[in-house]
Amino acid sequence: MPLFFILSGIFFQENSLQNFFCKKARQLIFPYVIFCIIGIIITLIIPQWRYITFADILKDLYLGYPDSINVSSVWFLIYLFITMLMLNIILYIQKRNITIGYIILLFVVFYGFTLGRFPIVLSIFPFNRMPLNSDSACVALLFLWTGYHFKSQIMNIIELFNSKNLLQKVVFIIIILFATIILILKNGTVNLHGITFNNEIFYITASIMGFIFVIFLSQLLISYKIIANCLKWLGVNSLKIMGTQAIIIRLFLLIINKLTNQHYSLYFLPPIYAIIGSILVSLVTITIVIGYNYVISISNNMLKKSYIQ
């Protein structure tokens, strides 16, 4: 998730509040609503999922985490919207008073990490969480701002990496990978959405190093045309994939529990089922997205022909 927000920060463009709402609502809120509607429909269709109540839906709406309707993967759309809104407001303030802008930025980030260390602070809120993931968004703001503020330096680092020979690139990637793994193992389990960070310094450092590792690895892989084209396709269709796979994963879990007469939870599957599930879910999800794109392409062509005639 830190990688995701740093990348989003690199491509972030400041805008007026009105333009921001119009643009980001179309890009983030609209698909979120669509996937939630799809999730509700499918949840009501499948008998084992019909235990959902109106209170469950209200909880999902409050948290911005549509878990009860089985499309929890799209929570990051609301999450990203809130984080970008905060950054846009802070940048607006910084243009008028840079000192106050930075004070607000530091306060919001510090508050977010405080919630992770002292979650009792959240007890005043329903379900012990602030609405629409805005509590964990306070921490995500740090990574979004990092990508935005240091994008020139990041591009310079990428250019420096690309100037090296293949052996040097591989050595850099391996060193960063091992250093990141050591920090991750040292710090233990973390969860940005669940505001669990353990050692904040380790968490931030590992996040930035992990970001650099992925960037360097990506630069190495895109030199291979087939891999580059696959990654581009995944990038273009990432939103559809994320929204679709959330439901497919839960359907797979439903089938496995039925066949084995067990009660495995979403993130705690035996390794063999996890491997099989990863392969099957990926294949089914990609097939659905390809089919969807094909139908949309055919429909657009028919509309164009009708318009010309």
Contact 5, 140 (CB under 8 A): yes
Query: For position 140, what pLDDT does the model report?
Result: 94
Long-range pairs, 287-294, Cβ under 8 A, ≥24: 288/244, 288/248, 289/237, 289/240, 289/241, 289/244, 292/240, 293/237
Query: For position 307, what pLDDT does the model report?
Result: 66
Query: For position 309, what pLDDT does the model report?
Result: 62
Query: For position 223, what pLDDT does the model report?
Result: 84
Query: For position 303, what pLDDT does the model report?
Result: 75
Classified as helix, coil or strand, 57 is: helix
| Structure-block tokens of residue 104 | 């607000």
- Averaged pLDDT in 10-residue chunks for the chain of 309 residues: 92 86 87 90 87 87 88 88 93 91 94 87 88 90 95 93 92 94 92 89 94 93 89 89 88 89 82 90 92 86 71
Query: For position 201, what pLDDT does the model report?
Result: 93
Nearest by Cα to 82 from 120, 136, 11:
136
**∠ Cα 202 218 174 (to 5°):** 55
Distance from the Cα of residue 110 to its chain's centroid: 22
Backbone angles phi, psi at 154, to 5 degrees: -65, -40
Query: For position 23, what pLDDT does the model report?
Result: 87
Amino acid at 75: W
Query: For position 143, what pLDDT does the model report?
Result: 96
Query: For position 308, what pLDDT does the model report?
Result: 65
